Structure 1
Amino acid sequence: MKKLLHYIRPYRFFAILAPVLMCIEVMMDLLQPTIMQKMIDTGIANQDNGYVIKLGFIMLLSAVVGLIGGAGCSIYAAKAAVHVAADIRRDVFKKVEQFSNHNTDSFGTGKLITITTNDIESLKQAVIMTLRMFVRGPLLFIGSVVIVWFTARELFPVLLVSIPILIACIYLFSVKSGKLFLNVQKAMDQVNTKLQEMLAGIRVIKAFDRNEYEKNHFKNVNHLLMKRNMSAEQFILTLMPIMMFIVNIGVIAGLWMGVIKVNEGTLQVGVILAFINYLNIMMNGLMSSSQVLMQIARSFTSADRINQVLESEIDITEPEQPISVPEVRGEVEFRDVNFSYSKNGNYVLQNISFKAKAGQTIGIIGSTGSGKSTLVKLIPRLYDPESGAILIDRVNVKDIPLEKLRTAIGFVPQKATLFSGTIEDNLRFGKDEATKNDLEQAAGSAAASEFIDRLEDGFAHPLLQGAANLSGGQKQRLAMARAFIRNANILILDDSTSAIDALSEAMVQQALKQDYSQTTVFIISSKISSIRDADQIFVMKDGQIEASGSHEELLINSKVYRDIYASQSGLEVVNG
């Protein structure tokens, strides 16, 4: 929590004003029983109606002042808490944006969503309750104890017994509640993860008729969340009856002792009534304090999870001493590169070495899991190799500023990811200052003009979340257009034509030859037809480059390549 306190500094005026206004409300509340005592013992006992009316007016005035103080406290406490939560959410989002793929994988998307929503909301509630209730509760309690000491000392022994019991209950419940709500947050992570998976794969679920299976799976994680929530809430709610029982015992003891004192003539009736009121005020003060303590205990868990994100060490960082690269030409070299996702020596890529000259087209082919996509993800530093070096224009990519490096690369991922907004918004994701002509040229190169021109809104056509209103092939073509519009000197196409027809693919290949002849192009594909005209073709097998060369050379020198060719063309190639 200490590490997050600096977020409240910009709003310290609100954070100071709220407790001050709460002090005013508490003072007015503490006045009420004393005024009532005077009204009974002096005004009513002496039948002084003028005195009773005067005190009644003072009670009304103090209630109004207390109302103003309480309302003002609530307003300014909420302002401080909401701003603090917004700033934390902004920084968490900014940090997550900087995450490497490995950082994101280590948390899991479901947990990151829970942290950005539930955990920050829990922290916001803790700030509000701290600025409001945590001031009110202790002040009511301490003020009541002091007033009883001076005005009803004969009944003070009741407090000496009941108060320690109440405080012990609050402490035990607060400690236990923190542990219970940690389990609740973990269960919430599972629900968010499952919900995200279900929404992302809804078409697959329906296609395989797995609705009932997914319902049951979600039912299980939802039931776990319900059980943990129920345990936490039931445990907390039992505190109120216990405290009420202790207070009621104190009221009975106070009345019993008070009646004895009244009969002895050492105590007045108004004092007993005031004592009972102050005892209830003490209970309310302790109760509100206990609620705050339990919310704070709950927020400790949330604060820890938030700090895990904010203090995460980013795997992919800016170079300490960046090398100025005036313009990236596009020469790419791998030197003995090894890479492992798990960082445990189980390499996905092993001893990868090659050199691609600027302007060359490199084709990469291989079976599923051979490391094709992983290899090209290392170029824009979506991951960093465990050993070896990747150089662009003879400069290690780790020494090039990230913005400079990634601006020089047009990347089309294996899964065409588009965002809600218009088609134009998505294309400008590649180049914000793109002109209308740039949009049209990029769409034409990606064979996307064919369907964009048929849309009533053209480039202004709105896309749903995940571009759910487009086909797979249309998504791929827009993803390619988004990369083409950058006019980058390095272009990476990761199996980007798998969902488009042969005619559209031929148009894309023709555009690559004509419009991007000076660009270093990496084409990852499972189809030989997509890469057969490449200057170099790398055949991947088990994380290694099994063979390299032109299409004709590989038909002679690579058995793996010949087998792929035979399976796709139906023609058997005889070596030699």
Structure 2
Amino acid sequence: MIALFKHLKPYTRFILIILVSMLAGILLELYLPTLMASIVDIGIVDNDMGHILQTGGWMVVCSLLAGALTVIVTYFTSRVSVGFGRDLRRKLFIHVEGLSLQEFDRFGTASLITRTTNDIKQIQDVVNMMFGMMIRAPIMLIGGIILAVSRDAMLSLIFLASLPVLACLIFLIMRTAIPLFRSLQNKTDRLNLLLRESLTGLRVIRAFNRTDYEKKRFDQANEDYRDIGIKVNRMIAVLFPVMMIVMNFTNVAIVWFGGIRVNEGVMQVGNMIAFLQYAMMILMSLIMLSVAFIMIPRAQASATRINEVIQLHSQIKEPAQPESGKAVQGLLEFKDVTFRYAGAERAAVESVSFVARPGETTAIIGSTGSGKTTLLQLIPRFYDVERGSIEVDGVNIRDMSQKELRAKLGYVPQKAALFRGTIADNIRFGNGDIPQEQLEAALATAQAAQFVSAKEGGINAEVSQAGGNLSGGQKQRLSIARALARKPEIYLFDDSFSALDYKTDAKLRAALRQETGQATVIIVAQRVSTVIDADQIIVLDEGKVAGIGKHDELLKGNRIYQEIVASQQTEGASA
């Protein structure tokens, strides 16, 4: 957790104000029992009303100043803790955005959401508590002990019995709490995961009558979370009553033995009252520390989880001296490319080599799991190749900056991804400076103009979260329009026509041939009808290239392609 505190550096000025104000406030609070003792021992005993009024006035002034300083400490503590939380969330978000998909997959979406929200909130609360209690309590504790001993060293021996009991209790609770709080955060991850799956897969769950099954899964995770939470709260439930018992016995002992010493004439009544107040300050300081020590283990568990993400560096590195394209714009070449997912026994793609040229359409086809999508995801460097190289415009993509590389690409993913906002916002997502005419032309090419114009507001119609108010085909066409509006050198269509009917598919492909012009087009598809007119078709089988050629050539001499065509003809999808 200490490693995260370096993010407090921008708030050094505020922290100094907090420390100075807190120290001054504590000194004033510690001075109040001394004034009280003076009123009792001098003002009341000697019946000196002037002394009582004067000293009482100083008590009022000290109390008001201490209150004002407490307000200042609270205000700046809130600014520091909330600002720290904001900065840490920003850093974590930016860091996650920079990770490759390989590192992203290691944690999962649900866990990363928990770490960015719940875990950072735990750290933020500890920072708030640190300046509000954790710094204040030790100063108050030490100051109280010093002043109590100065009042009566013999009576201070009572603390030798009470303080070790409280210290041991706090230590035992911390030792037990750390693994429990770590487990509690993991249970939170599990709850978030199940909730996210249930909400995103709601239609499938209802369609297959699995509502009861999902309820049982969530209930089990919820009960696990509850059980851990009960264990933690049991410890807290034990801590505070025990601390109150120790504190009350300490007060009884002070009054008992203090009364004896007053009776013997060794100690004055005012001193005993002051001593009792210092004892209360000492014990309250310990209670504040115990509350802090209860929260620290949970924050420590959260800090560990946050550091796990921050300390994980992307395997995809920016080149020290980026190179720009040297050859024809849009030239893409795979040279003996092999890639394997982390932990996989078999390579997803192996020894793949081909060239995709500007003005041509390259189609990739193959059975499910043959590596088509993987091949496309290697081009924008979502993953880095294990062996071989990929060149764009004659430059190895590892020697090109990621920003420049991705500026050359228009990527349409297998699952259409839209964002909350208007249709225009989503089309301009790839380039915010797209003029209205270019935007409308992209919609027309993507065969989306008709349904967009039919919507209320037209191009400015609202798109709900993840495009929930659009059909699958509409989302795909808007995703295609987003890539077209960018006018890149290379178009990457990852099975982007699967939700379209054959008529719309054919019209879209015809419009694409005119729109893409001299750009390089790579299409991953399942339908033979989608790839039949491609300049070259790459047939993949278990991650390897099983054939490259035009439709007629492959139909004559490639067994795997023949099987694909035959299977689709059988299903009535004749090529």
Q: What's the counterpart of residue 279 of structure 2?
A: 279
Q: C-alpha separation between the residues in 1 aligned to 2:518 and 2:386?
A: 31
Deviations 1:401-435 (A, max 9, x none): 11111111111000000000111111111221100
Q: C-alpha separation between the residues in 2 aligned to 1:343 and 1:183?
A: 26
Q: C-alpha separation between the residues in 2 aligned to 1:328 and 1:227?
A: 64
- Deviation, 1:328, is 6.0
> In 2 relative to 1, CA 327–552 (structure 1 residues): closer, same or farther, beyond 3 Å?
closer
Letter in structure 1 aligned against 2:107: F
Q: What's the counterpart of residue 157 of structure 2?
A: 157
Q: What's the counterpart of residue 557 of structure 2?
A: 557
Native 8 Å contact 1:483 1:491 kept in 2: yes
Letter in structure 2 aligned against 1:49: M
Q: Does 1:415 align with 2:415?
A: yes
Q: C-alpha separation between the residues in 1 aligned to 2:156 and 2:431?
A: 76
Q: What's the counterpart of residue 16 of structure 1?
A: 16
Q: C-alpha separation between the residues in 1 aligned to 2:395 and 2:343?
A: 25
Deviations 1:157-203 (A, max 9, x none): 10122222222222332333222211111111111122222222122
**Mind listing any 5+ residue stretches in structure 2 that lack a counterpart?**
none
Native 8 Å contact 1:205 1:211 kept in 2: yes
Letter in structure 2 aligned against 1:64: L
- Deviation, 1:345, is 4.5
SS of aligned partner of 2:486: coil
> In 2 relative to 1, CA 112–549 (structure 1 residues): closer, same or farther, beyond 3 Å?
same
Native 8 Å contact 1:18 1:132 kept in 2: no
Q: Does 1:399 align with 2:420?
A: no
Deviations 1:446-487 (A, max 9, x none): 001010111121111111110111111100000000011111
Superposed, 1:84-163 pairs within 5 Å as 84-163=84-163
- Deviation, 1:41, is 2.6
SS of aligned partner of 1:313: coil
Native 8 Å contact 2:326 2:394 kept in 1: no
Q: What's the counterpart of residue 514 of structure 1?
A: 514
Native 8 Å contact 2:327 2:394 kept in 1: no
Deviations 1:292-322 (A, max 9, x none): 2333333222222222222211022212232
How many residues are treated as equivalent by the alignment?
573
Q: C-alpha separation between the residues in 2 aligned to 1:153 and 1:331?
A: 87
Letter in structure 2 aligned against 1:84: F
Deviations 1:63-98 (A, max 9, x none): 111110111101011111111111111111111111
SS of aligned partner of 1:540: strand
- Deviation, 1:571, is 9.1
Stretch moving more, 18-27 or 65-74? 18-27
Q: C-alpha separation between the residues in 1 aligned to 2:478 and 2:432?
A: 15
Q: C-alpha separation between the residues in 2 aligned to 1:258 and 1:202?
A: 70
Letter in structure 1 aligned against 2:171: Y
Give the CA RMSD over aligned residues: 1.9
Q: C-alpha separation between the residues in 1 aligned to 2:205 and 2:252?
A: 64
Q: What's the counterpart of residue 306 of structure 2?
A: 306
Letter in structure 2 aligned against 1:324: S
Stretch moving more, 479-488 or 342-351? 342-351
Stretch moving more, 389-398 or 478-487? 389-398
Q: C-alpha separation between the residues in 1 aligned to 2:430 and 2:141?
A: 61
**Mind listing any 5+ residue stretches in structure 1 that lack a counterpart?**
none
Q: What's the counterpart of residue 536 of structure 1?
A: 536
Q: C-alpha separation between the residues in 2 aligned to 1:417 and 1:222?
A: 31
SS of aligned partner of 1:353: strand
Native 8 Å contact 1:328 1:489 kept in 2: no
- Deviation, 1:280, is 1.4
Q: C-alpha separation between the residues in 1 aligned to 2:282 and 2:507?
A: 80
- Deviation, 1:43, is 2.1
Q: What's the counterpart of residue 379 of structure 2?
A: 379
- Deviation, 1:326, is 6.2
Q: What's the counterpart of residue 72 of structure 1?
A: 72
Deviations 1:501-531 (A, max 9, x none): 2222122101121111312111111110100
Native 8 Å contact 1:338 1:349 kept in 2: yes
Deviations 1:356-386 (A, max 9, x none): 2222211111111111111111111111111
Q: C-alpha separation between the residues in 2 aligned to 1:326 and 1:552?
A: 34
Letter in structure 2 aligned against 1:564: I
Q: What's the counterpart of residue 172 of structure 1?
A: 172
Letter in structure 2 aligned against 1:228: I
- Deviation, 1:135, is 2.2
Q: C-alpha separation between the residues in 2 aligned to 1:476 and 1:29?
A: 68
Q: What's the counterpart of residue 27 of structure 1?
A: 27
Q: C-alpha separation between the residues in 1 aligned to 2:48 and 2:357?
A: 105
Superposed, 1:68-467 pairs within 5 Å as 68-325=68-325, 329-467=329-467
Q: C-alpha separation between the residues in 1 aligned to 2:247 and 2:70?
A: 25
Deviations 1:336-368 (A, max 9, x none): 211111255421111212222222211111111
Q: C-alpha separation between the residues in 2 aligned to 1:336 and 1:246?
A: 75
Q: C-alpha separation between the residues in 1 aligned to 2:99 and 2:493?
A: 23
SS of aligned partner of 1:453: helix
Letter in structure 2 aligned against 1:410: G
Native 8 Å contact 1:19 1:132 kept in 2: no
Q: C-alpha separation between the residues in 2 aligned to 1:571 and 1:306?
A: 51
Identity across matched positions, percent:
38
Native 8 Å contact 2:324 2:395 kept in 1: no
TM-score by length of 2: 0.96
Native 8 Å contact 1:536 1:549 kept in 2: yes
Runs of 4 or more, structure 1, over 6 Å off, are: none
Q: What's the counterpart of residue 468 of structure 2?
A: 468
Stretch moving more, 344-353 or 149-158? 344-353
SS of aligned partner of 1:429: helix
Native 8 Å contact 1:174 1:290 kept in 2: no
Native 8 Å contact 2:96 2:104 kept in 1: yes
Q: C-alpha separation between the residues in 2 aligned to 1:237 and 1:571?
A: 67
Q: C-alpha separation between the residues in 2 aligned to 1:350 and 1:240?
A: 63
- Deviation, 1:6, is 2.2
Native 8 Å contact 2:85 2:121 kept in 1: yes
Letter in structure 2 aligned against 1:147: L
Letter in structure 2 aligned against 1:507: K
Letter in structure 2 aligned against 1:259: G
> In 2 relative to 1, CA 328–427 (structure 1 residues): closer, same or farther, beyond 3 Å?
farther
Q: C-alpha separation between the residues in 2 aligned to 1:143 and 1:508?
A: 80
Superposed, 1:37-48 pairs within 5 Å as 37-48=37-48
- Deviation, 1:566, is 1.9
Q: C-alpha separation between the residues in 2 aligned to 1:106 and 1:422?
A: 33
Q: C-alpha separation between the residues in 2 aligned to 1:52 and 1:81?
A: 42
Letter in structure 1 aligned against 2:248: N
> In 2 relative to 1, CA 571–257 (structure 1 residues): closer, same or farther, beyond 3 Å?
closer
Q: C-alpha separation between the residues in 2 aligned to 1:24 and 1:445?
A: 71
Letter in structure 2 aligned against 1:166: L
Native 8 Å contact 1:123 1:302 kept in 2: yes
Q: C-alpha separation between the residues in 2 aligned to 1:418 and 1:446?
A: 15
> In 2 relative to 1, CA 559–210 (structure 1 residues): closer, same or farther, beyond 3 Å?
same
Q: C-alpha separation between the residues in 1 aligned to 2:223 and 2:187?
A: 9
TM-score by length of 1: 0.96
> In 2 relative to 1, CA 444–371 (structure 1 residues): closer, same or farther, beyond 3 Å?
same
